[in-house]
Amino acid sequence: MLTKTPKQCWEEFAQFMEDCCTATEFQNWIAPIKVCANSKEELILEVPNIFVQEYLLENFQKQLENFLPLKANGKLALSFEIASPKKKTTPAQSKPTSQPTQETNTSILNSGYTFEHFIEGPSNQFVKSAAFGIGMSPGKSYNPLFIHGGVGLGKTHLLHAIGHYVKQHHKRMKVHCITTEQFINDLVGHLRSKSMDKMKRFYRSLDVLLVDDIQFLENRLNFEEEFCNMFEALINQNKQIVITCDKPPGQLKLSERMIARMEWGLVANVGVPDLETRVAIIQHKAEQKGIKISHRVAFFIAERIFNNVRQLEGALNRLTAYSRMMGIDVTEEIVESTMSELFQKAPHKRVSVDNILKSVAVMFGVRVSEICGSSRAKNVAFPRQVAMYLAKEMINDSLIKLAASFGGKTHSTLLHAWKKISKQLGTDEMLRRQIQMARRNLES
Ligand code: ADP
Ligand code: MG
């Protein structure tokens, strides 16, 4: 049972999302959604295509849960209808195929997504230097470069940065940047107007092809094959391909052939930035926007928004608007009052070292007493370091106090553990998932 009208529910959610995502993202994914039938039981949304639905569920499930009640069966009071093709003559959203001429999309790169504006840290150094290498000599190093990582961690940013760099430094090269969705739209359009040859010619004439969000190719068998053919044609001519994805190739539900192709070159992960990097990102973005924030304020924000750079940016946007409107400097109090919703769960308040110890002990199959003991055996020392990492990340207390809760360890032991795990998170997918899981358990 909805507590508000469907329209209100949706508008509140959309408004919230506007702050959390980039304008482009909002335009692509949120704005095209309409509220349809007037049900009191659940929110029924009309989406232009299945991608939009999946994108929403995959990326914003948590946020949706904050705005919508659950049904009696425990599921979210939300359902979807795909817009009927009669209303829209194209099966998919947005401009690409609605253009009457079947010109292939010209690629538009976000002007802010350059290497200069990409802040490096342990979680993204490797992928950044791989991307930069590609920018310097496309087609000559790794091919393809496959960039994967969670939402809002800078994959699209890096992809566009390569595009900008190549355009600037290799003026003769033809660069094309496209989302997988646009690619499919393009394909559908050309199939319909029987101009596939033209599309093939266009793609084969490229020097650098940048493809964003390849996960949308999952379950699209026909398109997958077409993509794979084009992919091979380009690679065989040493044309550079860069692909981004929300997961590593092996986890994609795609054909073995396709997965093998994507693993051909270099697979690089972009991870969640550590606290220091997050602070640097906030400061850099603030500078770009021309607002002044102190290191303390940047730190204050970075400590509270930890797993998504896009949300950091959202927070900053809101702050900018507020400080301009009020003509005041930004202090921690102001940050807290303007952005309390963004600091989602304020986990620091509820999570205790005890909870962390229990959760980590279960996860690694060791005893809490062992974690708090002094054994240096790897099967104990590692969980201990993970628990210390979580304590420092999730609990807002002095290191000395935190360390003492681990059976009287010193703050430098805790700091060492935190550094080690932070570093390892940059390269260890499995650990990252474990930590994410632990976090989720602890916060819920
Ligand atoms: P993804 O494609 O991985 O979902 P994006 O590339 O769209 O994420 O990044 C989301 C936002 O975060 C963008 O505005 C981007 O500029 C910013 N961002 C992410 N990582 C960094 C970074 N390391 N330095 C600066 N900005 C970053
Ligand atoms: Mg992206």
- Which strand ranges, in their side-by-side order, compose the sheet holding 175-179? 175-179, 208-212, 240-245, 145-148, 266-269
**The pair of three-digit structure tokens given for residue 323, joined into one six-digit string:** 């400080």
**249 Cβ partners below 8 Å, 6+ apart?**
146, 148, 259, 262, 263, 267
Least confident interval from 202-206, 341-345, 372-376, 412-416? 341-345
Does pLDDT of 329 surpass 80? no
Is 67's C-beta closer than 6 angstroms to any atom of ligand 1? no
Alpha carbon distance 69, 2 (integer Å) = 7
Does pLDDT of 253 surpass 60? yes
The answer to whether position 178 is within a domain reads: yes
The number of distinct structural domains making up the chain is 4
- Strand positions, DSSP E, 207-350: 208-212, 240-245, 266-269
Alpha carbon distance 227, 219 (integer Å) = 13
Q: Which ligand has the nearest atom to the CA of 151?
A: 1
One domain for residues 244 and 287:
no
**77 Cβ partners below 8 Å, 6+ apart?**
1, 2, 41, 42, 43, 68, 69, 70, 71
CB 155 within 8 Å of CB 147: yes
Q: What does the pLDDT read at residue 278?
A: 94
CB 106 within 8 Å of CB 202: no
Q: From the alpha carbon of 159, which atom of ligand 1 is closest?
A: 6
One domain for residues 110 and 246:
yes
The answer to whether position 11 is within a domain reads: yes
Peptide bond connecting 248 to the previous residue in cis, omega within 30 degrees of 0: no
One domain for residues 331 and 371:
no
The answer to whether position 308 is within a domain reads: yes
For residue 242, how far is its CA from the centre of ligand 1 (angstroms)?
A: 17
Residue with tokens 């550079």: 240
* Minimum CA distance residue for ligand 1 atom 5: 154
What's the pLDDT tens digit per position in 385-433? 999 999 998 887 888 999 999 999 999 999 999 999 999 988 888 888 8
Does pLDDT of 161 surpass 70? yes
Q: Which of 110, 310, 317 to mutate to test the pocket of ligand 1 (most atoms within 8 A of CB)?
A: 310
The pLDDT-based confidence of 369 (bands split at 50, 70, 90) is: very high
Query: What domain range includes position 391?
Result: 348-443
* Minimum CA distance residue for ligand 1 atom 19: 154
HSE-CB at 367 with a 13 A cutoff on CA atoms is: 5
For residue 307, how far is its CA from the centre of ligand 2 (angstroms)?
A: 15
CATH of the domain at 64: 3.30.300.180
One domain for residues 177 and 35:
no
Over residues 274-299, the mean pLDDT reads: 90
Over residues 122-133, the mean pLDDT reads: 94
One domain for residues 240 and 357:
no
Q: What does the pLDDT read at residue 97?
A: 37
Among residues 213, 247, 269, the one where a domain terminates is: 269
One domain for residues 146 and 263:
yes
DSSP one-letter string for 189-234? HHHHTT-HHHHHHHHHT-SEEEEE-GGGGTT-HHHHHHHHHHHHHH
What's the pLDDT tens digit per position in 65-107? 888 888 877 788 898 887 765 433 334 444 333 333 345 555 6
Is 214's C-beta closer than 6 angstroms to any atom of ligand 1? no
Q: Rg of the chain over CA atoms, in angstroms?
A: 24
One domain for residues 331 and 380:
no
CATH of the domain at 126: 3.40.50.300
**The pair of three-digit structure tokens given for residue 154, joined into one six-digit string:** 């800078």
One domain for residues 363 and 334:
no
One domain for residues 354 and 339:
no
One domain for residues 104 and 129:
yes
- Which strand ranges, in their side-by-side order, compose the sheet holding 78-82? 34-35, 43-47, 78-82
Alpha carbon distance 198, 190 (integer Å) = 8
Task: Give the whole-number percent of the chain exceeding pLDDT 90.
Answer: 48
Average model confidence (pLDDT) across the chain = 85
Q: What does the pLDDT read at residue 145?
A: 96
The answer to whether position 90 is within a domain reads: no
Is 55's C-beta closer than 6 angstroms to any atom of ligand 1? no
Q: What does the pLDDT read at residue 94?
A: 40
Alpha carbon distance 130, 138 (integer Å) = 11
Is 281's C-beta closer than 6 angstroms to any atom of ligand 1? yes
Pairing status of strand 145-148 against strand 175-179: unpaired
Q: What does the pLDDT read at residue 18?
A: 81
CB 211 within 8 Å of CB 226: no
Is 271's C-beta closer than 6 angstroms to any atom of ligand 1? no
Alpha carbon distance 382, 402 (integer Å) = 17
* Minimum CA distance residue for ligand 1 atom 25: 118
| CB neighbours of residue 329 within 10 Å | 12
The answer to whether position 279 is within a domain reads: yes
One domain for residues 239 and 105:
yes
More confident residue, 12 or 372: 372
Alpha carbon distance 427, 151 (integer Å) = 17
One domain for residues 206 and 320:
no
Please give the model's pTM, rounded to 2 decimal places. 0.60
3-state secondary structure of 83: coil
Q: Which residues pair with 147 in a beta bridge?
A: 244, 268
Q: What does the pLDDT read at residue 434?
A: 85
CATH of the domain at 289: 1.10.8.60
For residue 222, how far is its CA from the centre of ligand 1 (angstroms)?
A: 31
For residue 151, how far is its CA from the centre of ligand 2 (angstroms)?
A: 7
Is 155's C-beta closer than 6 angstroms to any atom of ligand 1? yes
